């Protein structure tokens, strides 16, 4: 939130025990507002499918979501900050953080990372078939679910990558693992 | 936003010319806050892939996002409200709104729908391979993209659906169309 106007910005994150870390450029307006004490909300949503009912009214979406509210605090300690940034990379591609060049001191200074505590959070889940009104079950209307999944396609090497560098297990395994978001 | 604390709530939507419609229960706390004049932000994000760089610092995500800010106004006119609710169903499954039982007057009253104007919006896109620091291109680290797509699985009929009701073209066609969100 910034001057009373909320802004919703897509961002990567990682959960570390009873808190979540998010990060960005030290110049990020969102992170500046957060460390200045703006009330924050972090929402993660997985869409699992469309729910087609017999009536327009009962159409829905199958999903899992978590809404976290609270105040963020800056991660100042360089070692703690390195661990938190590693956790974001590891949360998205396990095994990646140890395979790449670690942040330099300059990169660390150019990055802001904050904790958001998981003290106040709520989860919602909808799953399963539609729930129609009793009298609508007699209608000749197809009803059911259209499941949706997030699917990785074949990894696309950087055009500047020498062909001698093989695809590492943490990338090929990520694909086989079929993570859902 | 509610009493200074922003809340980010996943929701369906449809664009109608120069505005967006969102809807929910008439009892929805979010919609009550919006029609009371709370500043709103609507963000839509498609994640297109993970971007694996040679350095942790340059890891990124390929995505397309739109951030809309403004104030919502309630859709009061019943005919306009019906058209807006139809648009939400049609935006998600084209052809569906005409195939189902339309909202009753009671259902219409139990639903709140609001416009959000597209006067103030910004779009961001990242695509393509990682951008590494010059000296990092010599590192023996695999780099590239892991593309992600949203894939529909086979439609799952409601267990209460009579087997005589066939899968309609707007459902089978949706699947072949491979919509991305």
Please write the tens of the pLDDT for every residue from B34-47. Answer: 999 999 999 999 99
> What's chain A's average pLDDT?
94
Q: Is A154 an interface residue toward B (CB < 8 Å)? A: yes
DSSP lists the bridge partners of residue B47 as B63
Choose the mutation target among B37, B91, B100 for the interface with A, i.e. most A CBs under 10 Å.
Answer: B100
Contact A147 B156 (CB under 8 A): yes
Question: If you average pLDDT over residues A125-132, what whole number do you get?
Answer: 98
**A175 pLDDT higher than 80:** no
Q: Is B153 an interface residue toward A (CB < 8 Å)? A: yes
Contact B156 A129 (CB under 8 A): yes
Contact B93 A50 (CB under 8 A): yes
Contact A7 B61 (CB under 8 A): no
Confirm whether B8 is domain-assigned: no
**B26 pLDDT higher than 90:** yes
Confirm whether A45 is domain-assigned: yes
**Domain count within chain A:** 1
Confirm whether B155 is domain-assigned: yes
Confirm whether B2 is domain-assigned: no
Contact A6 B40 (CB under 8 A): yes
Query: For B152, which residue in chain A has the nearest alpha carbon?
Result: A148
Question: If you average pLDDT over residues A26-30, what whole number do you get?
Answer: 96
For residue A54, which residues of chain B lie inside 8 Å, CB to CB? 100-101
Q: Could you tell me whether strands B40-52 and B144-152 are parallel, antiparallel, or unpaired per DSSP bridges? A: antiparallel
What does chain B come to in residues? 181
Burial call A132-162: b when 16+ CB within 10 Å, e when fewer: beeebeebebbbbbbebbeebeebebbeebe
Question: If you average pLDDT over residues B147-169, what whole number do you get?
Answer: 96
Please write the tens of the pLDDT for every residue from A38-72. Answer: 999 999 999 999 999 999 999 999 999 999 999 99
Contact B158 A130 (CB under 8 A): yes
CATH number, domain of B75, equals 2.30.110.10
For residue A100, which residues of chain B lie inside 8 Å, CB to CB? 52-56, 59, 141
pLDDT for res B175: 61
Q: How would residue A176 be classed by pLDDT, with cut points 50, 70 and 90?
A: low
Confirm whether A132 is domain-assigned: yes
Confirm whether B84 is domain-assigned: yes
Confirm whether A20 is domain-assigned: yes
**A35 pLDDT higher than 60:** yes
**A1 pLDDT higher than 80:** no
Find all residues with CB under 8 Å of B38, minimum gap 6, and list them: B1, B2, B71
Quick one: A38 exposed, middle or buried, by C-beta within 10 A (0-12, 13-18, 19+)? buried
Confirm whether A30 is domain-assigned: yes
pLDDT for res A177: 57
Q: Is A177 helix (H, G, I), strand (E, B) or coil?
A: helix
Quick one: A100 exposed, middle or buried, by C-beta within 10 A (0-12, 13-18, 19+)? buried
Q: How would residue B173 be classed by pLDDT, with cut points 50, 70 and 90?
A: confident
Q: How would residue B177 be classed by pLDDT, with cut points 50, 70 and 90?
A: low
Q: What is the DSSP letter of B58?
A: G
**A181 pLDDT higher than 90:** no
Structural domain containing residue A114? 14-177
Q: Are A148 and A50 contacting, i.e. CB atoms less than 8 angstroms apart? A: yes
Please write the tens of the pLDDT for every residue from B44-64. Answer: 999 999 999 999 999 999 999
**B76 pLDDT higher than 90:** yes
């Amino acid at each position: 939130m910034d001057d009373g106007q909320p802004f919703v910005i897509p961002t990567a994150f990682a959960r570390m025990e009873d808190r979540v870390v998010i990060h960005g450029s030290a110049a990020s307006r969102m992170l500046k507002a957060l460390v200045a004490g703006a009330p924050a909300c972090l929402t993660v949503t997985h869409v699992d499918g469309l729910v087609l009912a017999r009536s327009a009214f009962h159409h829905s979406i199958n999903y899992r979501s978590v809404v976290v509210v609270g105040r963020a605090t800056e991660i100042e300690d360089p070692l703690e900050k390195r661990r938190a940034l590693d956790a974001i990379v590891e949360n998205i591609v396990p095994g990646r953080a140890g395979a790449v060049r670690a942040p330099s001191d300059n990169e660390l200074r150019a990055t802001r990372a904050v904790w958001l505590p998981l003290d106040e959070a709520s989860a919602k889940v909808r799953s399963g078939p539609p729930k129609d009104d009793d009298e609508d079950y007699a209608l000749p209307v197809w009803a059911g679910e259209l499941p949706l999944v997030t699917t990785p396609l074949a990894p696309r090497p950087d055009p500047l990558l020498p062909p001698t560098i093989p695809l590492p297990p943490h990338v090929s395994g990520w694909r086989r693992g079929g993570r859902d978001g």
